[in-house]
């Protein structure tokens, strides 16, 4: 049996008049869908460290505070079918975090050079995220569950 790829995903929440989720779209690749910061855990890296790194790499935000792990999901990759285990985390950012911005991913990873259009979406979401990434939002607050999602 193939060992699953270990990943992290970040529910980055901003609270103003209501709760909002940080999401992004790949500029120039609309088929990728709206997503949350997520990615692989490096060898020897703790999942909690990896989620903060992924948020910073994919959005440029370095002000996120880790609040805790929400769920661990064992679902195969939607395109390759390869096994993966994703640790979902709840994070918070200050309310003065901008509403929207573009971020160019730096470094030498697979995402280097990609441009992400980041923005906050009100919770609950009107539409599901790509790859069912919104599946565990209701674990943070049942009112945040995407309509039609049961977990």
Domain borders along the chain are 5-141
At CB < 8 A and 24+ separation, what contacts does 132-136 make? 132/75, 133/9, 133/35, 133/36, 133/38, 134/21, 134/36, 135/73, 136/11, 136/70, 136/71, 136/73, 136/88
Q: Would you state the pLDDT for residue 151?
A: 55
Radius of gyration of the chain measured on its C-alpha atoms: 15
**How far apart (Å, rounded) are the C-alpha atoms in residues 37 and 56?**
9
CA distance 52 to 90: 11
Report the CATH number of the 5-141 domain: 3.90.79.10
Run means of pLDDT, 10 residues per run, the chain, 151 residues? 90 96 94 95 96 96 97 89 95 97 85 92 96 95 85 55
CA distance 132 to 87: 14
Q: What is the pTM of this model?
A: 0.94
């Amino acid at each position: 049996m193939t060992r699953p790829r270990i990943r992290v995903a970040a529910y980055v929440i901003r609270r103003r008049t209501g709760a909002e989720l940080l999401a992004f779209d790949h500029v120039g690749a609309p088929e990728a869908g709206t997503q949350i910061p997520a990615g692989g855990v490096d060898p020897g890296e703790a999942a909690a460290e990896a989620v903060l790194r992924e948020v910073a790499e994919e959005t440029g935000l370095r002000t996120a505070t880790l609040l805790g792990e929400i769920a661990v999901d064992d679902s195969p990759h939607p395109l390759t079918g390869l096994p993966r285990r994703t640790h979902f985390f709840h994070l918070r950012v200050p309310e003065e975090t901008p509403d929207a911005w573009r971020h160019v991913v730096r470094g030498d990873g697979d995402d280097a050079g990609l441009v992400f259009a980041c923005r906050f979406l009100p919770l609950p979401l009107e539409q599901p995220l790509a790859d069912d990434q919104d599946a565990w939002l209701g674990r943070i607050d049942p009112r945040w569950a995407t309509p039609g999602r049961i977990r």
